[in-house]
Structure 1
């Protein structure tokens, strides 16, 4: 017997119509927030950032690949990591198909990480990804956009992330962080010197402008798995902490056996 509320089809339909009203209100609010996001003032990017890509050295303008808009996913992959962050990897698993569609709608999508290009290329090959991925190891890009931090900042409690100063933290006893760090091949402190986020840029009149950045729970919407889990009967079901892995690190699921039939 389930402990969850049960009812008749009529009970379900009445509750579903109540939920539909709430969902429609949320959709309208989401549309309003999107308009507010797009109305933010643009800030001209004056620094000459340099990147290393599979096509060679590149400037920020080159990452637009001929489009007028650029979306950057700040992928957690530090210089000392042996693998990409598993959370960022779960997000990036959804990039392969959409980056082609975005490119045909005047929007370039690329990941950017602090690790050297050879590590990114090797991990990209392991994951079977095709989207662009640039190394920012030769510039201050990650630091300027508050997704990479130095050991000194960590020691001094001078990390500004998600638009606020973080309290100084000792991550060594945090099992959630330790598990993600272990999957990335680094220690908890090193892992937390990298952070996830996304930034948006536009090119107009020969100039590049920064238009938007989001961090932490602000990138929930681009976790392609979460909209599905939010509609599953048990929701995100994360009471026991992290459940995800690099997608090639899961145990094989049990084989589906045909049901027995007595006819």
Structure 2
């Protein structure tokens, strides 16, 4: 017998109309926040950032691919990683379809990581992704945009992430971080020297400007999984931390146990 409240269809409709009012208020607030985000001052990018891509070495302007807007996902894939971060990979699983639509709306969506291009290309093939992915291994891009940190910064407690100084932490004692690090083929400390985030840029009158960056829980909106889970009966249902794996690393159901929509 379920412990959840059971009601009539009329009970459900009354509660749903109350929820609808709350959802509409949240949508209006989200619209207002989007306008506030777009009103941020632009900061001119003067440094000559260089990237290694499948087309060769390019500059930041080349990542725009002829469009006026660029959205960069800071994908956690450090030089010593054996695979991409499972969390970033889950997010990137949602890029394949939308990057084409964005490209036809004057927006280029690209991932950037500190790992070498050969690692990125191999992992991209493994995952079956088609969005552009560049290596920033030869420059300061990741560090300047708070997506990567050095061992010295970590050792001296000078990690500034999500617009604030972090306290020093022994990541090896954190079970969640250790589990994600194992999946990425690196150490907990090495894993946490890379961080997720996204940054937005615009080209106008021959100049490039940085317009926006977001990190940590500010990234929730681009986890395509979460809007669906938030509407599932049990919600996110993850009290013990990350439950996800790389898409090809989930256990295959035993023969005869697979669930089918047509069973």
* TM-score bracket relative to the smaller structure: over 0.9
Q: Deviations over 1:167-226 (max 9, x none)?
A: 111101100000000000001000000000000000000000000000000010000000
Residue 108 of structure 1 aligns to a residue in which SS? strand
Aligned to 1:155: 155
Q: Distance in 2 between matches of 1:15 and 1:62?
A: 51
Of the structure 1 ranges 85-94 and 246-255, higher mean CA displacement relative to structure 2 is found in 246-255
Aligned to 2:165: 165
Let me know the Cα RMSD of the aligned residues.
Answer: 1.2
1:255 counterpart (239, 248, 258): 258
Instruction: Provide structure 2 residue ranges, at least 5 long, that are not aligned to the other structure.
Output: none
Aligned to 1:10: 10
Q: Distance in 1 between matches of 2:259 and 2:183?
A: 29
Q: Distance in 2 between matches of 1:104 and 1:258?
A: 34
Deviation of residue 256 (structure 1)?
3.1
Aligned to 1:183: 183
Provide runs of 4+ in structure 1 moved above 4 Å.
257-260
Q: Deviations over 1:135-154 (max 9, x none)?
A: 00011000000010000000
Distance 1:115 1:7, change over 3 A: same
Q: Distance in 2 between matches of 1:131 and 1:92?
A: 9
Deviation of residue 62 (structure 1)?
0.1
Q: Distance in 1 between matches of 2:178 and 2:61?
A: 37
Q: Distance in 2 between matches of 1:205 and 1:257?
A: 55
Aligned to 2:138: 138
Aligned to 1:81: 81
1:206-245 matches, within 5 Å, as: 206-245=206-245
Distance 1:55 1:259, change over 3 A: closer
- Aligned length, in residue pairs: 260
Distance 1:257 1:58, change over 3 A: closer
Instruction: Provide structure 1 residue ranges, at least 5 long, that are not aligned to the other structure.
Output: none
Residue 111 of structure 2 aligns to a residue in which SS? strand
Distance 1:204 1:255, change over 3 A: same
Q: Distance in 1 between matches of 2:262 and 2:92?
A: 37
Q: Distance in 2 between matches of 1:259 and 1:155?
A: 55
Aligned to 1:50: 50
Aligned to 1:115: 115
